[in-house]
């Protein structure tokens, strides 16, 4: 399968709404790697390369990707008949104890699809489903099958990013989407990313910048601009995005009130980031969105 599909997951900090801008900056490549895959929106939006590697330190996330790739029908069978309800969300979050990798994937998939913004940090993994805004359970099988097709032949791992970068083949292209520098990650992710990790990432990319091309997306702040002052290009980017609130959040989160400890604001936002590259990246037309079939 080599077509545009959406990520199977909801993911805090995902690049769904920035896909067009990012794809415009991606050069033609044979080997594609994401050290911080998350929901992997860019992988699913672009053409598959000859070689593809998705990595994330979150083992639960990568296990779910692996089950979708290798055992889609088994996962679909386990989810058959599920309803999106607060009671089932509470069951999977607080009661269900998975006994194997398949059951871990069932729990992860269900909670991700029914939690607010797909947040999987259990302290902030709250019910966040609405029929008007969320993928309904009856559509999960099609989503899983399409995802499985696109993941065929893709290497899936759960390493620290430095292992991925050091093992990357020469002439690869890396899309690098680390956690924001100025963000309270403890609310969203199961693994924190400290200042030392940001510095370590910058150092290892500088050391390897002669071996492959990469595009890094970061929050636009002075610290990151200083950290990557050696990079060839830094582009300021902005895009519109919408937060689709659930019915409960619309009802309970009016006028900026908090829902489950998180503020629910208006539906329209501006995404503001910087794109950092070690290659001339001005509008790579071969991968514009919708993309041309460059690798068929």
Range of the domain at 222: 16-287
Give ∠ CA 262-266-268 in degrees, rounded to 5: 120
pLDDT in tens, 38-86: 999 999 999 999 999 999 999 999 999 999 999 999 999 999 999 999 9
The pLDDT of residue 262 is 44
The pLDDT of residue 276 is 96
What are the respective helix, strand and coil percentages of the chain, to the nearest 5? 40, 15, 45
In a domain, 64, yes or no: yes
Dihedral angle sign, alpha carbons of residues 227, 234, 289, 138: positive
In a domain, 135, yes or no: yes
Q: What is the helix (H) or strand (E) element at residue 236, kind and residue range?
A: strand 233-242
In the chain, how many domains are there? 1
pLDDT in tens, 134-190: 899 999 999 999 999 999 999 999 999 999 999 999 999 999 999 988 765 555 556
In a domain, 61, yes or no: yes
In a domain, 7, yes or no: no
CATH label of the domain that carries residue 215: 3.40.50.150
Residue 247 has pLDDT above 60, yes or no: no
CB contact at 8 A, 36 and 161: yes
Closest CA to 54 of 204, 146, 168, 143: 168
In a domain, 8, yes or no: no
- Return d(Cα 109, Cα 65) in angstroms, integer: 9
Closest CA to 33 of 179, 166, 199, 195: 166
In a domain, 3, yes or no: no
In a domain, 9, yes or no: no
The DSSP result for 99-152, as a single string, is -SHHHHHHHHHHHHHHBGGG---GGG--B---TTTS--GGGHHHHHHHHHHHHT
pLDDT band at 212 (very low <50, low <70, confident <90, very high): very high
């Amino acid at each position: 399968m080599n077509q545009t599909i959406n990520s199977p997951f909801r993911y805090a900090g995902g690049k769904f709404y920035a896909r067009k801008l990012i794809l415009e900056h991606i050069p033609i490549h044979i080997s594609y790697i994401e050290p911080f895959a998350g929901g992997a929106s860019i992988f699913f939006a672009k053409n598959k390369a000859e070689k593809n590697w998705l990595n994330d330190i979150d083992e639960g996330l990568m296990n779910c990707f692996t089950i979708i790739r290798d055992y889609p029908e088994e996962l679909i069978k386990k989810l058959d008949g599920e309803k999106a309800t607060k009671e089932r969300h509470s069951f999977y979050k607080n009661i269900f104890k998975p006994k194997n990798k398949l059951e871990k994937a069932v729990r992860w998939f269900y909670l991700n699809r029914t939690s607010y913004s797909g947040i999987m940090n259990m302290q902030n993994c709250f019910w966040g489903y609405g029929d008007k805004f969320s993928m309904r359970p009856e559509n999960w099988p099609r989503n899983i099958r399409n995802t499985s097709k696109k993941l065929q032949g893709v290497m899936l791992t759960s390493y620290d990013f430095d292992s991925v970068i050091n093992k990357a083949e020469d002439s690869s292209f890396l899309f690098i989407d680390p956690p924001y520098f100025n963000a309270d990650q403890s609310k969203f992710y199961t693994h924190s990313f400290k200042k030392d990790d940001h510095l370590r990432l910058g150092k290892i990319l500088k050391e390897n910048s002669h071996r492959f091309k990469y595009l890094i997306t970061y929050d636009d702040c002075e610290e990151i601009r200083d950290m990557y002052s050696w990079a060839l290009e830094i582009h300021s980017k902005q895009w519109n995005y919408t937060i689709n609130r659930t019915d409960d959040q619309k009802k309970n989160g009016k006028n900026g009130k908090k829902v489950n400890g998180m503020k629910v604001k208006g539906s329209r936002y501006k995404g503001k980031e910087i794109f950092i590259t070690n290659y001339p990246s001005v509008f790579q037309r071969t991968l514009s969105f919708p993309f041309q079939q460059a690798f068929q």
